[in-house]
Amino acid sequence: MHKKIIVSLALDHGISQEALAMARHLKGDDGEIHAVHVHETPNSTVNAYVAEDVMRQAIDAAQEKLKARVADTPDVEPVMLHGSPGQALTEYAKKIGADCIIVGSHKPGLSDFFLGSTSSRVVRHAPCSVYVIR
């Protein structure tokens, strides 16, 4: 059984219920589940043309969507991170001493073979077990 489980939730994908069910199955009676969404900041070129209040509104909207996604699951703590998803997830896992990360994967596109997808980066760099849901 795992004590601290991170469930990576991409708010625009629909695997969260399956991932949360898996986390409940894997955690012990006293385990914790952290539902994590990573908000990617646009690159500096795009960021130069986006007003700060628009960025704040986008972050606030994502935070509200995350809270709504786990509102009926009191055993899950919503966590919003910022940055590159693969890096932010692995750093957060180290910070809280997580012993499991559940992350979704998709059929890789051509760019994934050159750049690497979030799930493959998490698998390569995580300090703990990683479960990948297709």
pLDDT tens digits, 53-90: 888 898 999 999 999 988 888 889 999 999 999 999 99
What are the structural domain ranges in the chain?
A: 2-133
The SS3 of residue 49 is coil
Per CATH, which fold does 2-133 belong to?
A: Rossmann fold (3.40.50)
- For residue 47, pLDDT over 90 is answered with no
CA distance 21 to 118: 21
Is 15's pLDDT higher than 70?
A: no
Mean pLDDT of 100-121: 73
Burial of 90 (0-12, 13-18, 19+ CB in 10 A): buried
Supply the mean pLDDT for the chain: 86
pLDDT band at residue 95 using 50, 70 and 90 as cut-offs: very high
Residue 114: is its pLDDT beyond 70?
no
pLDDT in tens, 25-43: 998 788 999 999 999 877 7
User: What letter would DSSP give residue 74?
Assistant: T
Looking at residue 30, its pLDDT comes to 86
